[in-house]
């Protein structure tokens, strides 16, 4: 069952009923000012940091769902009837409800009692404000007299304090209302030099800034007293809960439309000119006033919206594909890269599942996110790499997280996740392949943010690889430390204390437990680094990284192979994890993806065997589960993984992030059909028709889908902020479609499902444009791909980088698979 549909021409998802299984959200803003917005106008806004600079209040895990948002109420003066065009918060019946989630904007509207209203929400590029543009049309045969009320509830900046420290914050709230603009200035009197504002383009009939005056005693947002009575209280908040509400009276002739503009924004003043006049407590508004005036103008709003659309077109034009699959097309052309850009901006901080007060930027997460956006914003990727590397520790290890505001490692979450540093190598390799900017390797970068400790970035990569080599266990495999990619495989934790953090506790020495997954990742990273070293003219380094990779490969084959699949780890006692010897958790997915992806077992059948085992033991209609059999109980020696009921999260859900690794592995053994099948199982668009089962948004990936051992198989959770976004995009574009940046140019080596007759793509790469046409033909003999560059046959599958500004055309010819649709088409063409 569906709740809406894709509108690909508009690059939108259109939700046609408001009661989606969960709030289906979108993001506003992509630079400094951000908002989350649900399909019924729920959500909140913040400046840069979802915890420390939160503008509006939101109630996570509220009843009913999704309380707090960007609300509008209409009230018919004649009947007294009131409703919200976005359905929430009044939840009164509306007709013709539509929410269009687009790239960086959302529009929500409906009709009620002959009055149509739609609001477009977006953040103009380069600004720290959001615009709500509301259009109200009278579709009645008679004149309508309406009251329009807006409503937001301000957050007292630090979202954690705001939700916990009531003895203080019930007394600190302050506002100003000047010329109809509501200014929220709590703590401005002391150390803050920032404030929020909420403005409206219309003459006001009244306003409210004290929440309880607006709502009335013991009322919620669903029926505010002021709206019911059609009259604001002109209240000024002193302490308690400051809010912002404008009251506008509108008269509309039949067929007439009125446009109202609201601005919700963030502004700062220099510390020495906070007040006007100096010595007063009144906000100096000289800087903010012109901004407000500018964007209250309808033409400016339209122009800003056009700039936003152009901004996204520019970014997404880097890769455009047309394939036989609509799911691939819309996912690859906009939703998936868009999601990657959101993970770039927000890491794992603020979503429907991440409250914005907890986590900083993950070192591992951010490096992997980069794989999904480096081609769209290479300059910003460069900056991100340097920020990440500057938090690396002198040992080569890494803090698990760092804080985006300070760019310092976060000690509270600790270090010692032994896979972490290796992801930096993959991120830098991806950046170099995209840009050929070898100069980044010479950038001086500090360790742990300490001035004076700088070395060239290249040395950071050496130390990352060295970190693994200095921490090998009894089988010559990497010690796992606190955990590896699987944060819940805590083999040195042994926690018996309720509530103790699995992520920071390490009760055992950590000298025995080893990770086969890190071994695979190491082979990949060391091979990448060898290539980088060779390009820097460091032949000896290249040789030694290659040798280290070969030794690790051998160790995996000797001690990491279980007979039918790769083992997952060795525990603190030296016993295998993820082995046929185990009663539960016999096979884990991570090494079956990562080892072949790194090239391990490709030439002796291990990779193919492992992938068969994946298909046999881990495949479900909803994707590949992380492990089987699920752990039925908590296991002291394994850590958090057994804390989850079977089928959820790391304990045998479809942990989506891992599926693209298997997709890539399948392409590495040449199995295009299975690669595509695995890809499609978790593709959100392909799951749209079971939205009632999936429950999360059908336009973005979720971190997990409940596995077959769960009571709710197929139910997704933790949508939006997940490494799945980057890896899914990499797997389909670089390995199935086979278009991938390499140091010497653009490789085009598709591994397609057998019934595809071909596809076309346009890729911008280092300033040149590549028009790519891939087709199967029964005339092609042999099993590889033959490239034609501007009509001339090319040796190999790498198209050398073309001069910036030029356009080249590349034809890739693949043999048709006997008996498939592709062959029949090419045969009948003859």
Tokens of 396: 């080569």
> Contact, 546 vs 527, CB < 8 A?
yes
Q: What is the SS3 assignment for 794-806?
A: ECCCEEECCCCCC
C-beta closer to ligand NOJ: residue 467 or 485: 485
| Backbone φ and ψ of 390, nearest 5° | -70, -10
Taking the complex as a whole, the smallest distance from the CB of residue 485 to ligand NOJ amounts, in Å, to 4
Minimum Å distance from CB 482 to ligand NOJ? 12
Which tokens belong to 370? Answer: 């980069």
* Residue 717 binds to ligand NOJ (criterion: CB under 6 A): no
Pick 124 or 707: Cβ nearer ligand NOJ: 707
Residue 482 and residue 492: Cα distance in Å, rounded? 6
Binding residues among 645-684 for ligand NOJ as defined by CB under 6 A: 650
Nearer of residues 485 and 756 to ligand NOJ, judged by Cβ: 485
Alpha carbon distances (Å) from 371 to 341, 348, 725, 728, 798 = 11, 16, 10, 10, 20
**Least distance CB 718 / ligand BGC (angstroms):** 8
| Three-class DSSP labels, 725-769 | HHHHHHHHHHHHCCEEEECCEEEECCCCCCCCCEEEEEEEECCEE
User: By CB under 6 A, what part of segment 371-410 binds ligand NOJ?
Assistant: none
Instruction: Output 248 or 716, the one with its CB closest to ligand BGC.
Output: 716
CA-CA distance, 90 to 113, in Å (whole number)?
A: 15
Contact in structure between 116 and 96 (CB atoms under 8 Å)? yes
Place of tokens 């956006």: 373
460 binds ligand NOJ (CB under 6 A): no
Q: How far is the CB of 704 from ligand BGC (least distance, A)?
A: 8
Binding partner of 503, given ligand NOJ, ligand BGC, none, CB within 5-8 angstroms per partner class: ligand BGC
d(CA 702, CA 381): 23
* Complex with ligand BGC: residue 480 or 801, whichever CB lies closer: 480
Residue 365 touches ligand NOJ, criterion: CB under 6 A: yes
Residues 591-650 that bind ligand NOJ (CB under 6 A): 650
Q: Which of 362, 478, 560, 707 binds ligand NOJ (CB under 6 A)?
A: 362
Count other C-beta atoms under 10 Å from residue 474's C-beta.
Answer: 13
Q: Which residues are catalytic?
A: 487
Task: Give residue number: closest CB to ligand BGC.
Answer: 487
Q: Residues 471-500 vs ligand NOJ: string with x where CB under 6 A?
A: --------------xxxx------------
Does position 503 bind ligand BGC by CB under 6 A?
yes
- The nearer residue to ligand BGC, 401 or 777, going by C-beta atoms, is 401
- In this complex, which beta carbon is closest to ligand BGC, that of residue 49 or of residue 640? 640
- The site that binds ligand BGC (CB under 6 A) totals a number of residues, namely 6
CB 338 within 8 A of CB 360: no
Would you tell me how many other CB atoms lie within 10 Å of the CB of residue 615?
16
Residue nearest to ligand NOJ (CB): 487
Q: List, as own/partner pairs, every contact residues 211-217 make where C-beta atoms lie below 8 angstroms and the sequence separation is at least 24, other chains included.
A: 211/153, 211/237, 211/240, 211/241, 211/242, 211/243, 212/240, 212/241, 214/151, 214/243, 214/245
For ligand BGC, the closer CB: 76 or 640: 640
The answer to whether 548 and 469 have CB atoms below 8 angstroms apart is: yes
Number of residues that bind ligand NOJ (CB under 6 A): 9
Non-local (6+) Cβ contacts of 671 within 8 A are 611, 751
- Give least dist CB 362 to ligand BGC, A: 8
Shortest Å, Cβ 400 to ligand BGC: 8
Contacts of 223 (CB under 8 A, 6+ apart): 82, 90
Site track for ligand BGC across 639-658, x = CB under 6 A = -x--------xx--------
Among positions 435-494, residues that touch ligand BGC (CB under 6 A) are: 487-488
Least separation in angstroms between CB 488 and ligand NOJ: 6
Of residues 341 through 360, those in contact with ligand NOJ by CB under 6 A are 348
Chosen residue from 54, 98, 364, 382 binding ligand NOJ by CB under 6 A = 364
Nearer to ligand NOJ (CB atom), residue 365 or residue 823: 365
Least CB distance to ligand BGC at residue 495 (A)? 13
Alpha helices (H) in 98-224, listed in sequence order: 159-164, 166-169, 211-215
Give every strand in the sheet of 401-403, ordered side by side.
Answer: 361-362, 401-403, 408-409
Say whether residue 107 binds ligand BGC (CB under 6 A).
Answer: no
Report the interface residues with ligand BGC, using CB under 6 A: 487-488, 503, 640, 649-650
Report the interface residues with ligand NOJ, using CB under 6 A: 348, 362, 364-365, 485-488, 650
């Amino acid at each position: 069952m569906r709740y809406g549909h894709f509108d690909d021409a508009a690059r939108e998802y259109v939700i046609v009923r408001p009661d989606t299984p969960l709030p289906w959200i979108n993001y506003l803003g992509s630079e400094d000012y951000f908002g989350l917005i649900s399909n019924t106008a729920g959500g909140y806004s913040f400046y840069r940091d979802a915890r420390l600079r939160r503008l509006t209040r939101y109630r996570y895990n509220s009843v009913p769902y999704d309380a707090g948002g960007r609300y509008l109420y209409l009230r018919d003066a004649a009947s007294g009837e009131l409703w919200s065009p976005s359905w929430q918060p009044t939840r009164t019946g509306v007709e013709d409800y539509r929410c269009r989630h687009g790239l960086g904007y959302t529009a929500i509207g409906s009709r009620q009692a002959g009055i149509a209203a739609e609001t477009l929400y977006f953040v103009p590029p380069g600004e720290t404000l959001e615009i709500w543009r509301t259009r109200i049309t009278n579709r009645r045969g008679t004149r309508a007299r309406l009251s329009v009320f807006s409503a937001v509830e301000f957050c007292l900046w630090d979202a954690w304090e705001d939700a916990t420290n009531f003895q203080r914050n019930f007394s600190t709230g302050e506002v100003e209302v000047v010329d109809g603009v509501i200014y929220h200035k709590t703590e401005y009197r002391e150390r803050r030099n920032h404030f929020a504002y909420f403005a409206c383009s219309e003459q006001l009939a009244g306003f409210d800034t004290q929440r309880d005056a607006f709502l009335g005693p013991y009322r919620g947002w669903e029926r505010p007293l002021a709206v019911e009575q059609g009259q604001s209280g002109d209240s000024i908040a002193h302490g308690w809960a400051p809010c912002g509400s404008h009251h506008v009276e509108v008269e509309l002739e039949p067929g007439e439309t009125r446009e109202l503009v609201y601005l919700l924004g963030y502004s700062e003043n220099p510390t020495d000119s906070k007040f006007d006049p100096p010595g007063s407590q009144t906000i100096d508004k000289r800087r903010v006033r012109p901004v407000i005036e500018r964007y209250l103008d309808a033409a400016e709003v339209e122009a800003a919206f056009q700039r936003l659309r152009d901004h996204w077109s520019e970014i997404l034009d880097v890769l455009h594909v047309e394939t036989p699959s609509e799911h691939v097309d819309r996912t690859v052309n906009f939703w998936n890269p868009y999601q990657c850009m959101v993970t770039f901006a927000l890491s794992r901080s603020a979503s429907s599942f991440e409250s914005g007060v907890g986590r900083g930027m993950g070192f591992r997460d951010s490096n992997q996110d980069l794989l999904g956006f480096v081609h769209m914003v290479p300059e910003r990727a460069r900056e991100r790499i340097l920020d990440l590397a500057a938090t690396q520790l002198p040992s080569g290890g890494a803090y698990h997280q760092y804080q985006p505001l300070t760019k310092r490692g976060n000690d509270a979450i600790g270090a010692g996740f032994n896979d972490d540093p290796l992801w930096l190598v993959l991120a830098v390799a991806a950046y170099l392949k995209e840009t050929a900017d070898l100069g980044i390797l010479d950038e001086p970068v500090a360790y742990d943010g300490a001035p004076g400790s700088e070395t060239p970035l290249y040395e950071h990569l050496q130390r990352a690889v060295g970190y693994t080599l200095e921490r090998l266990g009894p089988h010559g495999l990497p010690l796992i430390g606190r955990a590896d990619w699987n944060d819940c495989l805590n083999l040195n934790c042994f926690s018996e204390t309720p509530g103790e953090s699995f992520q920071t506790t390490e009760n055992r020495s950590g000298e025995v437990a080893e990770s086969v997954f890190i071994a695979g990742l190491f082979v990949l990273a060391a091979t990448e680094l060898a290539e980088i070293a060779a390009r820097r003219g460091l032949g000896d380094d290249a040789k030694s990284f290659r040798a280290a990779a070969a030794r690790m490969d051998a160790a995996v084959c000797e001690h990491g192979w279980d007979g039918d699949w790769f083992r997952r780890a060795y525990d603190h006692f030296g016993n295998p994890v993820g082995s046929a010897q185990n009663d539960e958790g016999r096979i884990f997915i991570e090494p079956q993806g990562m080892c072949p992806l790194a090239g391990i077992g490709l030439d002796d059948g291990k990779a193919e065997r492992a992938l068969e085992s994946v298909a046999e033991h881990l495949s479900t209609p909803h994707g590949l589960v992380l492990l089987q059999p699920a752990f039925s109980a908590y296991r002291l020696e394994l850590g958090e993984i057994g804390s989850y009921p079977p089928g959820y999260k790391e304990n045998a859900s479809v942990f989506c992030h891992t599926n693209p690794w298997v997709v890539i592995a399948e392409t590495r053994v040449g199995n295009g059909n299975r690669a595509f099948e695995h890809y499609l199982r978790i593709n959100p668009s392909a799951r749209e028709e079971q939205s009632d089962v999936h429950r999360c948004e059908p336009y973005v990936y979720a971190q997990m889908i409940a596995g077959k051992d769960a009571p709710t198989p197929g139910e997704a959770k933790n949508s939006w902020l997940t490494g799945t976004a980057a890896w899914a995009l990499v797997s389909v574009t670089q390995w199935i479609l086979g278009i991938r940046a390499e140091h010497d140019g653009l490789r085009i080596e598709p591994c397609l499902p057998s019934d595809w007759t071909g596809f076309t793509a346009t890729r911008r790469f280092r300033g040149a444009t590549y028009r790519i046409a891939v087709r199967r033909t029964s005339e092609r003999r042999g099993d590889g791909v033959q490239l034609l560059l501007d009509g001339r046959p090319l040796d190999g599958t790498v198209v050398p980088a073309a001069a910036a500004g030029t356009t080249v055309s590349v034809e890739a010819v693949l043999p048709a698979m006997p008996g498939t649709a592709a062959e029949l088409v090419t045969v009948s063409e003859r």
